[in-house]
Amino acid sequence: FQQFLLILVIPVVLALTLREASGTMKALFYFAGGFLIATRIRALALILHDAVHYAICVSRPLNKFLGRLCSLLNFVSFETYTHRHLNHHRFMGNPVYDADFGYGIQATLAEVVESRRMNLKTLSTLLRQFRQSIQIDLLKSREPLAWKTARVFVFAAAITLAFYFESWLGAVAFVLAPMFLFFPALQIFGDFMEHGYLAFQDDGLRSRNHQGVHPFVDWILFSNNDEYHLIHHLFPSAPG
C-alpha cells in the first residue's frame, strides 16, 4: 500500500509547492509530478504482474483481489492482463502471440541501441508502435462490473480533484500524462531491459538479466528489486 499512499501524497505535496512557484519552475514541477506518479503506477503494475503468478501471498483469492486493486489505475483489466501475460510466457518473443513484446517496439528499440542511430523514419515507427501499445480494454473484458465501475470512479475522482485544485493543467499533468504517456513509456523501457534483445534470436541471454544500473533507475523501473527476469521465466512462480 506504500505505492497507493505515494500516488496520493505526491500530488498533494506538489499542489502545495505549486502555489509558490511560477513560470518555468511551475512547468518543471508539473512535469516532475506527472513522471513521479507514473513511476508509482509502474510499481503497482509490477505487483499486478506478481499477482497473476500468485506470487504475492499464499491465498489465491487474496492474490487475485490485490491484483485487481493494483490494476485500477490501468485501463486493462486483471483478466485481460492475465491472458496476455500468460501468452507472453508461452510464446515469448513471438510477434503474433506475445502482446507483451510491445507491438514491435522492442525490436525497434533494440535496433536503435545496437546501431546507436536514430532517424526520422525510426522515430516515426517508434511513435506509431508506442500508440499501438497503449491498450484500453474495459467494455470487452470479462472483469466483474463492480471492478469496471470502480476503475471508472477512480479515474473520474482523480480528474475531478486535480481539476478542482490545479485547474485543467493539474488534470493533464497529474492524471492524463501519467496514465497515458509516462506510464506506458516506463512499461516499454522496463520491458525492453528484460526482453528487448530477444529481437536478436542469437543473443537472447543479453535480455532478462538486468542486475541494477543505478538505485534511482531501479526505483523508477524495478521497485520490487526483481532484477533477475530470466529466473522468473524459468520458474514463473518466483517474483519477477
**Which tens digits make up the pLDDT trace of 158-174?**
888 888 877 888 888 88
- Does the pLDDT value for residue 223 go beyond 70? yes
What average pLDDT does the structure give for the chain? 79
65 touches 54 (CB < 8 A) = no
Please give the Cα distance from 232 to 197 (Å, whole number). 17
* pLDDT (tens digit per residue) in 21-42: 677 777 888 888 889 889 989 8
Length of the chain: 240
Cβ-based neighbour number of residue 90 at 10 Å:
10
Q: Which residue has the cell 484500453?
A: 136
Number of H helices, E strands in the chain: 11, 0
95 touches 108 (CB < 8 A) = no
